[in-house]
Chain A
Amino acid sequence: MIEPSLALYGDAFDRVDQHLEELLTATGVRYCLLVDRKGFVLSHKEALWAPRPPALDSVATLVASNAAATAALANMLGERTFSEQIHQGENGTLYVESVGDSALLTLIFDGSVPLGRVKVHTKKSIAQVAAILEGLKDAPPVQFSEDFSKGATALLDDLLG
C-alpha cells in the first residue's frame, strides 16, 4: 500500500455529509466534493438548481492529479505544500483546498458567487472535516469474507470473458 486508504462509513460519513451540505447552502456553489488523494470521490453534494454535473470520476481524478502536481511544484520551490488551488474561467470557478494530508475539498461555482465568501466558509468546514477524517485513522481494518473473492471473480468473468 502506497497511500493510506480511507474507509468512510457510519457516523463519520453522516457528519462529513452534513458539513458539505452546510457549506453548499452557506456559499451558494453548484457542486461540492470531498475527494481523496488517490482521486476517488468520498462524498458529494450539488445544489438543487444546479445543472447536470460533469463526470465526477473524471473531475476527482483530475483534481487529485493536479493537487499532486502542484504539491510537487511546491516542494521544488521549497514549500511544504500549496494548500489551495483556484482556477477561474469566464463563467465559472474551481476552488480546491487540502483537507489535511488525506483529502481535497472541491467547490465548483459560477460568477455570481464571491470567491471570498467561498474561502471563508470552506476554511471553517475544512477544520471540521479534517478532524473527522483524522478520527478515521483509528478505525478497525476492513474485513471481507471468502465469498467476496468468489463474487468478484464471477463478475470479472462476466465482464472480461
Chain B
Amino acid sequence: MSTINFAAREINCKIVYYGPGMSGKTTNLKHVFSKVPTHLRGEMVSLATEDERTLFFDFLPLDLGSVQGFKTRFHLYTVPGQVFYNASRKLILRGVDGIVFVADSAPNRLRANAESMRNLRENLAEHGIDVRDVPIVLQVNKRDVDGALPTEMIRAVIDPRRELTLFEATAHNGGGVFETLKSVSRLVLDRLAQNK
C-alpha cells in the first residue's frame, strides 16, 4: 500500500515500468517528463551507462494534485531491462504499488518479452507476493517497427489468460504513453480507496 503522511497530508504511490531491455521504458518516462507541466513534476533522475542504457533506474516524481485534501503524488521508476541487472530490478520492485509491463513488438523480441514477464513473477514471488496482487497494465510498444508482431501474439506469451488491460504504443512519439499511465494510476488509486 502507498505511503500516507497524514501530518503533511500526502499520499505517495510507486509505479514501476518493467520489461525487456530496449523495449522503451525510459522513453515512456521521458515523454511524460516532456509533456507534463513543470509545476507538476520534479527532476528526472537517470542512472544510466555511457551508452544511455539504464544501469539502476530512472525516476520521475509526478504530482496529481489534491484529493480530499491529500496531496497525491506518483513516483515513476523504470528498471534496467538487461538480463544481468536482475539484482537492481528486484530492489526497485520493493514497495511497488503498480506496474506497467512494456513489451517490445519487434519480431525477434518475443522470447525476451516472455522471459521478462517470467522474471517479474519470480522477483515478486521473492518478495512474497503473487503477480495478481499488484495492479499491472500491459503496454505493447513499438507498434511502428518493421514486421511488428501481432499484438495478440505478444499477449499470448505474456498474458495468456487475458487478465491485463492492454495498450498499444509508440512511446518515441508519445502514442499510448499517457493512456497507459492513466490506466495503471487509476488501478492504484482504486486499490487505495478500497484499502487493499
* Interface residues in chain A, defined as those with a beta carbon under 8 Å from any beta carbon in chain B: 1-3, 5-10, 13-14, 17, 36-40, 42-43, 55, 57-58, 61-62, 65, 68-69, 72, 141-149, 151-153, 155-161
Contact residue among B42, B72, B179, B181 (Cβ-Cβ distance under 8 Å from A58): B42
A8 in contact with B87 given A40-B12, A58-B45 (CB within 8 Å) = no
Q: What is the distance, in angstroms, from B80's C-beta to the closest C-beta of chain A?
A: 12
CA distance A5 to B7 in the complex (A): 15
Closest to A36 in B: B3
A152 in contact with B42 given A3-B95, A146-B193, A160-B185 (CB within 8 Å) = no
Interface residues of B in 71-108 (CB under 8 A from A): 72, 75, 87-88, 91-96
Are the CB atoms of B2 and A2 closer together than 8 Å?
A: no
Are the CB atoms of B72 and A152 closer together than 8 Å?
A: yes
Are the CB atoms of B67 and A148 closer together than 8 Å?
A: yes
Give 7 nearest A-B pairs by CB, closest first: A9-B6, A38-B95, A13-B7, A3-B95, A160-B182, A5-B1, A152-B189
B4 contacts partner chain A, Cβ-Cβ < 8 Å: yes
Complex contacts, A62 vs chain B, CB 8 Å: 45
* Interface residues in chain B, defined as those with a beta carbon under 8 Å from any beta carbon in chain A: 1-8, 12, 14, 36, 40, 42-43, 45, 56-57, 59, 61, 64-65, 67-68, 72, 75, 87-88, 91-96, 124, 127-129, 133-134, 178-179, 181-182, 185-186, 189-190, 192-193, 195-196
Complex contacts, B6 vs chain A, CB 8 Å: 7-10, 13
Complex contacts, B181 vs chain A, CB 8 Å: 160
CA distance A40 to B111 in the complex (A): 35
Complex contacts, A148 vs chain B, CB 8 Å: 67-68, 189, 192-193
A65 in contact with B185 given A8-B7, A9-B7, A40-B75 (CB within 8 Å) = no
Q: What is the distance, in angstroms, from A52's C-beta to the closest C-beta of chain B?
A: 14
Are the CB atoms of A68 and B185 closer together than 8 Å?
A: no
Are the CB atoms of A144 and B192 closer together than 8 Å?
A: yes
Closest to B128 in A: A2
Contact residue among A57, A142, A153 (Cβ-Cβ distance under 8 Å from B42): A57
Are the CB atoms of B195 and A40 closer together than 8 Å?
A: no
CA distance A65 to B75 in the complex (A): 13
A65 in contact with B57 given A37-B94, A39-B75, A57-B42 (CB within 8 Å) = yes
Complex contacts, B95 vs chain A, CB 8 Å: 2-3, 36-39
Complex contacts, A1 vs chain B, CB 8 Å: 1, 129, 133, 196
